A = this chain, B = another copy of it.
Amino acid sequence: MGVVLHKGENCGFTDKTIIPTPKHQKSGGKQTIFFNNPPKIIGRMSVVGEKEGKGPLSDYFDKIVNDAKWGEKTFERAEIDMLMSAIRGSIESAEIKEEDVDMLITGDLLNQLTSSSYAARDLTIPHLGLYSACSTMSESLAVGSSFVNAGYFDTVVCATVSHFATAERQFRYPLEYGCQRPPYAQWTVTGAGSTVLSSKGSGPRITMATFGKVVDFGINDLNNLGAAMAPAAMSTLTALFEETGSEPGDYDLILTGDLGKLGSDIMRDLMIEQGYFLGQNYIDCGNMVYDVTQKCYQGGSGAGCSASVINSFVLDKLEEGEYNRVAYLATGALMSTQSCYQGETIPCISHAVVIER
């Protein structure tokens, strides 16, 4: 894969890069914001579908719904319901009311943010719609934290969702077509996650955010998104390390969004080239969400993948004290439903937030 992935000249691994030499110099870049008044995560909710509910994280999810249509006529309507359930559940878990929320920041994978817009319609909260595909959860946390830290708003809800059936038919083929999936494909997670940020209360704090750049290393296969997104995650994680003077060992967990098995292997290789060795403390949400027996090949993907994992397992462990500092980088593939058919490759992005106990 390495050769396919690299545009530049220096693609080869050398003996030197196998024993990594972390770089600590500041790049002078400005991708990272440090929060002086770090917002606290005072509430959260994860909701997933049947398949995810049978996976390794089953015990951590707040709500598992076995009916893929949630009793609705369409999968799209079910996706809206799932997002709404996560948003309302997170507000409830924060022990506040809808009218206490100053801003709702959401996005999803559907054309024109269908799920977000229709969920926001039934809430009386000012709404900010974001799109960075599967990177939307960390993008919304980064923007939400920026607003709370600046004192603009006290309480902000950040949420996102994805649904296997809506994503497949929008980006690839209708399910009825029964298209065979290549072995490097991932499975879009049916799931939603919602996080309540507040200037008050207690809980894990978001201490910094790194905004990503759009990176395109030339992948044009809509089934190979892990490979497409890994360079974006590398770009943002390198910026985070350089701008904060930190290194992999400074984090109890470094968590990418949905690179899957292949994508996270590529991510490790790319980071070695940058001089950083990612060890046991690096995992990918797409790798965590399904069991190998569930035949999801490289694992999970979708905006709801890392949104449901961060709002269950990861924040559980942060609250319990098992983790003290987590770098969370959701990763998004920004192609459109038609751009690849028009001969384009896949631009990708990754936004990062650091969550501390």
* Residue positions of A touching B, CB distance < 8 A: 30-31, 33, 73-74, 76-77, 102-103, 107, 109-114, 117-118, 120-121, 123-133, 139, 143, 146-147, 149-150, 152-154, 211-216, 334-339, 342, 344, 347, 349
Would you give the shortest CB distance from A317 to chain B, in whole angstroms?
A: 29
Would you give the shortest CB distance from A44 to chain B, in whole angstroms?
A: 22
Q: Out of B103, B109, B127, B336, which one reaches A349, CB within 8 Å?
A: B127
**Complex contact B131–A339 (CB within 8 A):** no
Would you give the shortest CB distance from A239 to chain B, in whole angstroms?
A: 8
A118 and B339 in contact, given A129-B132, A349-B127 (Cβ under 8 angstroms): yes
**Complex contact A114–B152 (CB within 8 A):** no
A127 and B213 in contact, given A114-B336, A152-B33, A347-B120 (Cβ under 8 angstroms): yes
**Complex contact A102–B30 (CB within 8 A):** yes
Q: Out of B131, B143, B149, which one reaches A131, CB within 8 Å?
A: B131
19 intermolecular pairs with C-beta atoms under 8 Å apart: A30-B102, A74-B342, A111-B336, A114-B338, A117-B214, A117-B334, A117-B335, A118-B347, A120-B347, A121-B215, A127-B211, A127-B213, A128-B211, A129-B131, A129-B334, A130-B131, A146-B146, A146-B150, A149-B150
Assembly of this chain: how many copies? 2
**Complex contact A150–B153 (CB within 8 A):** no
Q: Which residue of B lies closest to A342 (CB)?
A: B74
Would you give the shortest CB distance from A59 to chain B, in whole angstroms?
A: 34
Which 5 A-B pairs have CB atoms at the shortest separation, nearest pair first? A117-B334, A150-B150, A126-B211, A114-B336, A112-B336
User: Which residues on B sit within 8 Å (CB–CB) of A146?
Assistant: 146-147, 150, 152
**Complex contact B120–A342 (CB within 8 A):** no
**Complex contact A125–B347 (CB within 8 A):** no
User: Which residues on B sit within 8 Å (CB–CB) of A102?
Assistant: 30
In the bound assembly, the distance between CA atoms of A77 and B339 in angstroms comes to 9
In the bound assembly, the distance between CA atoms of A82 and B334 in angstroms comes to 19
In the bound assembly, the distance between CA atoms of A118 and B31 in angstroms comes to 20
Q: Out of B117, B143, B149, which one reaches A128, CB within 8 Å?
A: B143
Q: Out of B74, B76, B125, which one reaches A213, CB within 8 Å?
A: B125
Q: Out of B103, B117, B214, which one reaches A120, CB within 8 Å?
A: B214
User: Which residues on B sit within 8 Å (CB–CB) of A110?
Assistant: 336
Q: Out of B114, B120, B121, B130, which one reaches A130, CB within 8 Å?
A: B130
**Complex contact A30–B114 (CB within 8 A):** no
User: Which residues on B sit within 8 Å (CB–CB) of A150?
Assistant: 146, 149-150, 152
Q: Out of B111, B124, B143, which one reaches A112, CB within 8 Å?
A: B111
In the bound assembly, the distance between CA atoms of A77 and B126 in angstroms comes to 33
User: Which residues on B sit within 8 Å (CB–CB) of A103?
Assistant: 211
In the bound assembly, the distance between CA atoms of A213 and B107 in angstroms comes to 15
Would you give the shortest CB distance from A311 to chain B, in whole angstroms?
A: 22
In the bound assembly, the distance between CA atoms of A154 and B33 in angstroms comes to 12
In the bound assembly, the distance between CA atoms of A30 and B156 in angstroms comes to 12
User: Which residues on B sit within 8 Å (CB–CB) of A127?
Assistant: 211-214, 349
A139 and B128 in contact, given A112-B111, A120-B214, A336-B112 (Cβ under 8 angstroms): yes
